[in-house]
Amino acid sequence: MGTDLIPESSERHTNVATNTFRPRHDWTLLKQGAEARVWKIRDSKYNGVDNDNGVNTVSICKERFAKKYRHPVLDARLTKQRCRMEARLLGKCKEKGINVPAVLQVDSNFSDATSLIYLEFIDGPTVRDYLEEVLLPQLEVEGKNDTIVCQDALCQIAEEIGKTISNLHEAGMVHGDLTTSNIMLQNVANISIHGPNIVFIDFGLAKNTTAIEERAVDLYVLERALQSTHPTLPPSFYESLLSAYVGLIHQNDASNDGTQKTKPLSKHFQPDILLRLEKVRQRGRKRECFG
């Protein structure tokens, strides 16, 4: 991994006496979650060397911290595993041309269960914020009907998300936590010229799998997240997303020699994934009714 991209020497954020993590004073806390904190690092130096004209470089440090409710040894092992798995899957995405932040470094050599993953900073809003703060208020003011809306930005974003999920699935991975907070929009200023530039983040629950069930659950998790987070979103958003997903997905086939091959969309595959999604929905409804 590109350790030369690390913004600062690792000693700078370590309490040397106790070998525990200590964020630098100039790091900004972006997000505090139940499992992790996300820090923004702005730095005019690469490895202590001034970069071009002191232009700031920005990266992210995702800190998975110790959980008090877990056995410390188990906690340290799990946190380290998650962090390494996230880095591995992000690397695989990059190889396959799926837009995710570049992994700059992983650091889990602390005496407690802390694990750090340094990532490229994505300059832009989450899809959640962009929908809630920009597109949906616009929609309300303009009173556009659903069909017209689906021809513009909203529809383009939906289609890009659908295509990215299909590329991810086709590459043999599922995300595991698809929500609009885990999808970001890069170069949002140029969205009307170049279309949306979708970036998937947070691969903490992602895994390597080609199972149709896991793919259907991935889609269902996003469907539910859309319904609960964006109740005013037109139904055409998810419909466009699904069409783009189904339109692109290729069937993964194990050939006779045991290697995995992809072949273009089979006519039978579309109903396969949609049928499985419907089954997952039915299970979800049953759980809601009967607990």
Binding ligand AMP by CB under 6 A: which of 98, 103, 122, 191?
122
31 binds ligand AMP (CB under 6 A): yes
> Near ligand AMP by CB under 6 A, which window of 115-123, 205-213, 240-248, 274-282?
115-123
Is 177 catalytic? The answer is yes
If the CB atoms of residues 16 and 189 are measured against ligand AMP, the closer one turns out to be 189
186 binds ligand AMP (CB under 6 A): no
If the CB atoms of residues 38 and 244 are measured against ligand AMP, the closer one turns out to be 38
158 neighbors 238 (Cβ within 8 angstroms): yes
* Nearest distance, CB of residue 194 and ligand AMP, angstroms: 19
Size of interface with ligand AMP, in residues (CB under 6 A): 17
Interacting residues with ligand AMP between 123 and 162 (CB under 6 A) = 126
Q: Quick one: angle between helices 153-170 and 236-248, nearest 10?
A: 40
Instruction: Indicate which residue of 177, 218, 253, 257 is catalytic.
Output: 177
Binding ligand AMP by CB under 6 A: which of 181, 197, 243, 270?
181
If the CB atoms of residues 60 and 106 are measured against ligand AMP, the closer one turns out to be 60
41 binds ligand AMP (CB under 6 A): no
* Nearest distance, CB of residue 108 and ligand AMP, angstroms: 16
Q: Which residues bind ligand AMP (CB under 6 A)?
A: 30-31, 33, 36, 38, 60, 62, 101, 119-122, 126, 181-182, 201-202
Active site (catalytic) residues: 177
